[in-house]
Amino acid sequence: DGGITQSPKYLFRKEGQNVTLSCEQNLNHDAMYWYRQDPGQGLRLIYYSQIVNDFQKGDIAEGYSVSREKKESFPLTVTSAQKNPTAFYLCASSGRPGAVAGELFFGEGSRLTVL
Amino acid sequence: ELKVEQNPLFLSMQEGKNYTIYCNYSTTSDRLYWYRQDPGKSLESLFVLLSNGAVKQEGRLMASLDTKARLSTLHITAAVHDLSATYFCAVDIMNRDDKIIFGKGTRLHILP
């Protein structure tokens, strides 16, 4: 079945360590997104990518990095520069950019806790 | 900068009652989406609204879009406990970058 797979589901990290969250989709979608959600809060956009080898910063990109080397994959690295990384991270994808229906399809999320 | 504001942010209501959640946004767009999130879970798509005057209905939920007023509503009819969740609206910025920005969500608690 087509969908979006995020891993790991839960991750613990010590302060000062970089971690990479995986996001893979087999929906043949062009656009992919990373959002952060804090308890009781909405979703804030970290990075997004319309096509392979291109991505843009969202509203809270500081302390994060991404790559888009393949259409199916959009990994997110949470660097040690991110001051408050503990959060729920959601990856999403959508169809062709500018298409009539830009409905997002979400993965199950990755919950990162910094100890 | 695009702002997406939902209200109320928290709503506690009795089963059987009707209520409306509002989503206002600050820039031109005619693509708006509603999502549902259960506690500890990811988001699932409820409605896609793609033009002024669009109305979609699914069960006890109905969503509408007024692009001139930059307003979308999610109406709940005769609420049942299973509808307890957090509801998000999201707006697609219609430019080259195609950014999608979410509101803060409305946490809906339906009392039996």
Contact between chains at B43 and A103 (C-beta distance less than 8 A)? no
Rg (CA), chain B: 14
pLDDT at B93: 77
pLDDT of residue A103: 85
Question: Is B31 a residue whose pLDDT tops 90?
Answer: no
- pLDDT number for residue B5: 95
Place of tokens 């804030």: A44
Contact call for residues A77 and A47 (beta carbons, < 8 A): no
Q: Could you give the 3-state DSSP secondary structure of residue B81?
A: helix
Residue-wise pLDDT for A66-93, tens only, equals 999 999 999 999 998 888 999 999 999 9
% of chain A exceeding 90 in pLDDT:
69
A16 or B64: which leads in pLDDT: B64
Cross-chain residue pair A42–B104, CB shorter than 8 Å: yes
Are B19 and B79 in contact by the 8 Å Cβ rule? The answer is: yes
CB pair distance less than 8 Å for B45 and A103: yes
Q: Which of A10, A106, A111, A113 to mutate to test the interface with B (most CBs of B within 10 A)?
A: A106
Q: Quick: pLDDT tens for B50-61.
A: 888 899 999 999
Which has the higher per-residue pLDDT, B97 or A52?
A52
